[in-house]
Every structure is written in C-alpha cells, then in structure tokens.
Structure 1
C-alpha cells in the first residue's frame, strides 16, 4: 500500500478591500449579477462574474425552476455564456458570491461539483487555470488558482477525444 497526501493552497483575505483593484471590481460585478437570480424556491441567490482577457465581463446568476433539476447554477450560466459567445477571449478570473434573507452566510460558498467539472473543462479548453474568488457579504474572501484547488481528482479521459477508428 502507498499512502498519498493532497495539499490544497488558497489565499484568504479579511475583506474585499484587501484585493487588488481588478479583483475587487470583479467581485462587485458578481454582486451585480446576483440581482438577476431567479430563486423563488430556495431563496438562495448566487451571482458569478467572469473577467475575460479583453476586460469584458460575462455574468451569470442561478436560475431555478419548479422542476428542480431544470435549474442551473450561476457559475454554469456564466461559463456556458462564455463558451457560446466569447470562447476566443480567455477567462482570467471568476468571482462568485451568494446571499439569502433566511440566514447569515459566515463564509464563502463553494461551487458544486457539476460547476467545478464544467470549470475544469473550460480551463482545459483554454489551457490555463482560472483564478476563482469566493466571498459573501461580510465573510472572508477566498482566492484559488484554478479548479484543482477544489477538485484534485478531476474527471478527464483523453481517449474520449480520439477519433473512433473503423467507423
């Protein structure tokens, strides 16, 4: 038997005011994105903002549906919008925030596994990690360099990209 250990590193800031100007501005855009959240069932609003290499901002917010599996998380809304409209303009950073009137969020909310897997796909597509900034109102700010900080065992099977021979 061999035992392995995985170490995950990230930066934690006390508040948004400690971030550099570009990251702080991106976080404010994520708050703005949260305004379009459609979350009448969970009452849990999430906003995501992507900063592209060109400086353009792409927005996403969670969109719920009474048939729960039909909804979509803010991160995937933003990432799929990027993929459909801006795939030639690499993503530099993504800021994600959440809020609810039901209780106080004391720490950043992390992305779900499905969102992380989609994020991994787009990092692979652009061949570079995406800085991920997570925060909530009055919570610490967590900054990660790429999806591996969340999901060290990403699902990738390079043979799925290979052409099927003989067909």
Structure 2
C-alpha cells in the first residue's frame, strides 16, 4: 500500500480591485452577463466570461428550464460556445460570478461538478491549463491556475 497526498493551490484576493487589470475586465464581463441569466426557478444567476488566446471574449449565463435538468450552467454555456465558434483557439482564463436573488452571495462560488468536468475536457484538449477566477456577487475572489486544482482525480479520455 502506498499513501498519496493530493494538494491544491489557490490564490485568494480580498476583492475584484486586487486582481490584475485584464482579469478585472474579464470579471466585469462575467458580472454583466450574470444579470442576463435566465433563472426564474432557482433565482441564482451565474455569469461566465472566457478569454481566448486570440483575445476574443466569450460570455455565457445560466439558462434554466422548467423541465429539470434541461437547463445549462453559465460555464458550460460559455465553454461550448467558445469551442463552437473558435474550435482551434485555446482558452486562457475564465471568470465566474454568482448571485442569488434570495440572499447575499459574498463567498466565492466554484463551478459545479458537471462544469468542472466540462472545463477539464478542454484543458486536456488544448494541453494547457485554464486559469479560473471565481467569486460570489461581491467579496473575495479565488484563482485556480488550472481546473486540476478543483478536480484532482478527473475522468479523462485516456481511459476510453
């Protein structure tokens, strides 16, 4: 038997003003698109903005549907659109923000498990990490240098 230790390294910023200017701009795009989310059931709006290597910015918001689970999270909306529009362009970074219409979201909100797996697929495809910044509606912002920090034992295509 061998014991394996898995470590995660994250950076935590006190608020959006501490982020590098380029990341602040990307997060502001995520905040803007968060307000366009279609979330009449959960009242939980999420916005995602992805910076591609060609300097294009792709945004997405969560889209709910009365026929659960037919909706789609903001992260997957954005990442799938980015690949559909620019299939051969790598994704450099992703900014995520979430807010509730029921209470203040002042703690960082990480991607759900399904979104983590979707982001992992594109890190594997491009063979480069995607920086991920995430926050609530306000407050601290967390940076992960790669999805692997958020999903260390990811399911990947080499097993298929």
TM-score (norm 2): 0.96
Question: CA, structure 1 residues 118+20, in 2 after alignment: closer, same or farther (shift >3 Å)?
Answer: same
Match of 1:73 in 2: 73
Pick the structure with greater CA Rg. 1
1:95 aligns with 2:100: no
Distance 2:83 2:134 in 1: 21
Match of 1:82 in 2: 82
What aligned pairs does 1:30-41 form with structure 2 within 5 A after superposition?
30-41=30-41
Question: CA, structure 1 residues 31+3, in 2 after alignment: closer, same or farther (shift >3 Å)?
Answer: same
Distance 1:60 1:120 in 2: 18
> What is the SS of the residue equivalent to 1:116?
helix
TM-score (norm 1): 0.92
Structure 1 unaligned runs (5+)?
161-167
Match of 2:139 in 1: 139
> What is the SS of the residue equivalent to 2:97?
strand
Q: What are the superposed Cα offsets for residues 32-74 of structure 1, whole Å, 9 maximum, x if unpaired?
A: 1112200000000000000111111101100000011100000
> What is the SS of the residue equivalent to 1:115?
helix
Match of 2:10 in 1: 10
Match of 1:125 in 2: 125
Offset at 1:2?
A: 2.3
Distance 1:6 1:124 in 2: 19
CA contact (8 A) 2:97 2:109 kept: yes
Offset at 1:110?
A: 0.8
Offset at 1:27?
A: 0.3
Question: CA, structure 1 residues 106+35, in 2 after alignment: closer, same or farther (shift >3 Å)?
Answer: closer
> What is the SS of the residue equivalent to 1:93?
strand
What's the C-alpha RMSD, in Å, of the aligned pairs? 1.0
